[in-house]
Amino acid sequence: MPLAKLALEDGTVFTGRAFGAPGEKLGEVVFNTSLTGYQEILTDPSYMGQLVAMTYPMIGNVGTTAADEESHGVQAEGFIVRELTVPSNYRSHRSLDTYLKASNVTGIEGIDTRALVRHLRTRGAMAGVLSSLELDDAALVGKAKAHGSMAGKDYVKEVVPEKAFTWDRGFDTLSQHVLPARPITKHVVAIDYGMKWNILRCLVQVGCKVTVVPGTCSAEQVLAYNPDGIFLSNGPGDPAVLGYAVKTVQGLIGKKPIFGICLGHQLIGQALGGSTFKLKFGHRGANQPVFNELNRTVEITTQNHGFAVDPASLGDAVEVTHRNLNDGTCEGIRHRELPVFSVQYHPEAAAGPHDSSYLFEQFRTMLG
> 168 and 292 in one domain?
yes
Predicted local distance difference test score (pLDDT) of residue 176: 53
pLDDT band at 149 (very low <50, low <70, confident <90, very high): very high
Any catalytic annotation for residue 202? no
- With 0-12 / 13-18 / 19 or more C-beta atoms within 10 angstroms meaning exposed / middle / buried, residue 35 is middle
> 184 and 258 in one domain?
yes
Give 64-110 as a DSSP string. B-GGG-SSSS--SSEEE-SEE-----TT-SB-HHHHHHHTT-EEEES
Predicted local distance difference test score (pLDDT) of residue 293: 98
- With 0-12 / 13-18 / 19 or more C-beta atoms within 10 angstroms meaning exposed / middle / buried, residue 352 is middle
> 136 and 26 in one domain?
yes
Predicted local distance difference test score (pLDDT) of residue 39: 97
For every residue of 148-187, which 3-state class applies, written as one string? CCCCCCCCHHHHCCCCCEEECCCCCCCCCCCCCCCCCCEE
Give 198-244 as a DSSP string. HHHHHHHHTTEEEEEEETT--HHHHHTT--SEEEE----S-GGG-HH
Which entry of 119, 322, 346, 354 is annotated as an active-site residue? 346
Any catalytic annotation for residue 361? no
Average of per-residue pLDDT across 200-219: 97
Predicted local distance difference test score (pLDDT) of residue 177: 66
Any catalytic annotation for residue 262? yes
> 166 and 107 in one domain?
no
Predicted local distance difference test score (pLDDT) of residue 43: 98
Give me the count of residues in the chain: 368
Which entry of 28, 77, 331, 348 is annotated as an active-site residue? 348
> Up-side HSE of residue 299: CA atoms within 13 Å toward CB?
30
User: What H or E segment, with its residue span, contains residue 286?
Assistant: strand 276-292
> 170 and 135 in one domain?
no
Predicted local distance difference test score (pLDDT) of residue 352: 86
Q: Which structural domain range is residue 215 located in?
A: 156-366
DSSP for residue 335: E
Q: Which residues contact 368 (CB under 8 A, 6 or more apart)?
A: 228
Which entry of 202, 208, 217, 262 is annotated as an active-site residue? 262
Q: How far is CA 90 from CA 37, 64, 322, in A?
A: 16, 10, 39
Mean of per-residue pLDDT scores for the chain: 96
> 92 and 240 in one domain?
no
Predicted local distance difference test score (pLDDT) of residue 175: 53
**C-beta separation of 281 from 303 below 8 A:** no
Question: Tens of pLDDT along 323-338?
Answer: 999 999 999 999 999 9
Question: Tens of pLDDT along 38-86?
Answer: 999 999 999 999 999 999 999 999 999 999 999 999 999 999 999 999 9
3-state secondary structure of 49: coil
Q: What is this structure's pTM?
A: 0.96
- Report whether pLDDT(363) > 70: yes
Question: What CA–CA distance (Å, rounded) separates 25 from 46?
Answer: 17
> 94 and 201 in one domain?
no
Q: How many domains does the chain have?
A: 2
**C-beta separation of 143 from 7 below 8 A:** yes
Backbone angles phi and psi of 158, in degrees to 5: -85, -15
> 143 and 163 in one domain?
no
Predicted local distance difference test score (pLDDT) of residue 173: 59
CATH number of the CATH domain containing 136: 3.50.30.20
Instruction: Compute the radius of gyration of the chain from its Cα atoms.
Output: 20
> 195 and 49 in one domain?
no
Share of the chain residues as helix, strand and coil, in percent rounded to the nearest 5: 25, 35, 40
> 170 and 134 in one domain?
no
Question: What CA–CA distance (Å, rounded) separates 84 from 285?
Answer: 19
Question: Tens of pLDDT along 271-321?
Answer: 999 999 999 999 999 999 999 999 999 999 999 999 999 999 999 999 999
Question: Tens of pLDDT along 5-36?
Answer: 999 999 999 999 999 999 999 999 999 999 99
Could you give the percent of the chain with pLDDT greater than 90?
Answer: 95
- Residue 118, Cβ neighbours under 10 Å: how many? 12
- Report whether pLDDT(168) > 80: yes
